[in-house]
Amino acid sequence: MSTPKILILGAGYGGLVTAVRLQKHMNYNEVDVTLVNKHDYHYFTTWLHEPAAGTLDPDKCRVSIESLLDTNKVKFIKGTVKEIKREEKKAILENGEELSYDYVVIALGSEPETFGIQGLKEYAFSIRSINSVRQIREHIEYNFAKYKMEKRPELLTFIVGGAGFTGIEFVGELTDRIPELCEEFDVDPSVVKIYNIEAAPTVLPGFDPELVNYAMEVLSRKGVTFKISTPIKECTPDGVVLADGEEIKSNTVVWTGGVRGNAIIENAGFETMRGRVKVDEYLHAPNHDDTFIVGDSALIINEETNRPYPPTAQIAIQQGENLAQNLLAAIRGGQMKPFVPSLKGTVASLGKGEAIGLVGDKKIYGSTAALMKKVIDNRSLYMLGGLSLMLKKAKL
């Protein structure tokens, strides 16, 4: 019998943890495992709001993939997936290379969801990769430098579309960075405007109202103007137009209003909802026992609320751990275990020393929540790369 081939597409949290756990528990030559990713590094998506604002070095947010792999057990290919031919059991890369598989793990991450808002793709930034956050940081700094010469208010008017976790955490970091930039470029802080615009009736939709109120008070005090229940109708080169007709002129619009699954999955013929596939209890794509989907492109319904679980790093890591065990069980003829998310808690940063969170049934605020955020971040490092990665990248 030939050695079973497992192909993992994408090295985000779900794909990378699947590979790392497989190599830990598999025997040499038991399985042929290949991991494909378009970069030769993994980046911590839950940290990206910090380098976007300029409060953290982007290089702190990434780690070499091969440094986490036992290359005797897992082969790494740097390449971009172009197409999945599910009936032929092949993935096609942009360079034309064809990779066959017996089992495929699709962990290709997400794309910004624009909800059809005109101009967002063309004129708004998004926080989605190391290069994208470098671009945002440099753009913000450039606008401060330019303001000294041109004095146009829109240069120092910053619009963040979406008040979910990414939006709230980004404006928190941005409010911390503004005083530093004002001092560096000799700008009066009173001319800087930050707007956080959200179509829903509250920021952090679905979060505890008491914690939401605390977050809004902290961020309002730090200079953020919230516009709630106010959808963006259009993004233009000059700013945004809101659904109520108001125009806000800005040279910097950052869109954090949602994500959808990778288009490659939809193009492969899988049935999707906003690019995400409703997987079964073993993370299979429906009617495809050879195909597993994890991370942002996997849709899992919370039976208690009858709503999808949010596509978080916490859940993606758990999916990777479960899936590695199930892949080996499938190959060895063992019993697979259903995936059941175990939510340890949720914490949202509001900038330096401030956060809100729900750990179990306990609400936490301020410095206590900020400390818990660091604990969660450091734990995810440990799950990915053990003690050595945690010591190298840990938030202190």
Question: Average of pLDDT values for 256-262?
Answer: 90
CA atoms within 13 A on the CB side of 379: 12
pLDDT band with cut points at 50, 70 and 90 for residue 307: confident
Q: In this structure, what CATH number is given to the domain that contains residue 136?
A: 3.50.50.100
Q: Which of 39-43, 179-183, 268-272, 291-295 has the lowest mean pLDDT?
A: 268-272
pTM of the model: 0.94
Mean pLDDT over all residues of the chain?
A: 94
DSSP 3: P
**Residue 94 annotated in active site:** no
Question: Average of pLDDT values for 122-126?
Answer: 97
- For residue range 143-199, list pLDDT tens digits in order: 999 998 999 999 999 999 999 999 999 999 999 999 999 999 999 999 999 999 999
Tell me whether residue 188 is in a domain. yes
Question: Average of pLDDT values for 270-278?
Answer: 91
- As a dihedral over the C-alpha atoms of residue 268, residue 274, residue 277, residue 280, rounded to 10 degrees, the angle is -170
Q: Do 360 and 290 share a structural domain?
A: no
pLDDT band with cut points at 50, 70 and 90 for residue 311: confident
- For residue range 23-59, list pLDDT tens digits in order: 999 998 899 999 999 999 999 999 999 999 999 999 9
Q: Do 150 and 90 share a structural domain?
A: no
Contact 126, 256 (CB under 8 A): yes
Question: Average of pLDDT values for 257-274?
Answer: 91
Amino acid at 325: Q
Tell me whether residue 183 is in a domain. yes
Has residue 1 got a pLDDT over 70? no
Q: Do 279 and 206 share a structural domain?
A: no
In Å, the largest CA–CA distance within the chain is: 72
Q: Which of 50, 111, 154, 169 is catalytic?
A: 169
Q: Do 121 and 98 share a structural domain?
A: no
Q: Do 252 and 155 share a structural domain?
A: yes
Q: Do 229 and 131 share a structural domain?
A: yes
Tell me whether residue 67 is in a domain. no
- For residue range 202-234, list pLDDT tens digits in order: 999 888 999 999 999 999 999 999 999 999 999
User: How much is the pLDDT for 127?
Assistant: 96
Tell me whether residue 49 is in a domain. no
Has residue 314 got a pLDDT over 70? yes
Q: Do 270 and 350 share a structural domain?
A: no
User: How much is the pLDDT for 310?
Assistant: 85
DSSP string, 80-121: -EEEEETTTTEEEETTS-EEE-SEEEE---EEE--TT-BTHH
DSSP string, 180-205: HHHHHHT--GGG-EEEEEESSSSSST
Q: Where are the alpha helices (DSSP H) in the chain?
A: 13-25, 49-53, 120-123, 130-150, 165-185, 209-221, 263-267, 313-332, 366-393
Containing domain of residue 294, as a range? 5-38+79-112+259-343
pLDDT band with cut points at 50, 70 and 90 for residue 97: very high
Percent of the chain at pLDDT > 90 equals 86
User: How much is the pLDDT for 43?
Assistant: 96
Q: Do 96 and 26 share a structural domain?
A: yes
Q: Do 306 and 195 share a structural domain?
A: no
Q: Do 269 and 182 share a structural domain?
A: no
User: How much is the pLDDT for 305?
Assistant: 81
Contact 45, 11 (CB under 8 A): no
Question: Average of pLDDT values for 324-344?
Answer: 94
Q: Do 354 and 338 share a structural domain?
A: no
Q: Domain count of the chain?
A: 2
Contact 155, 297 (CB under 8 A): no
Q: Do 396 and 336 share a structural domain?
A: no
Rounded-to-integer distance, Cα 330 and Cα 105, Å: 14
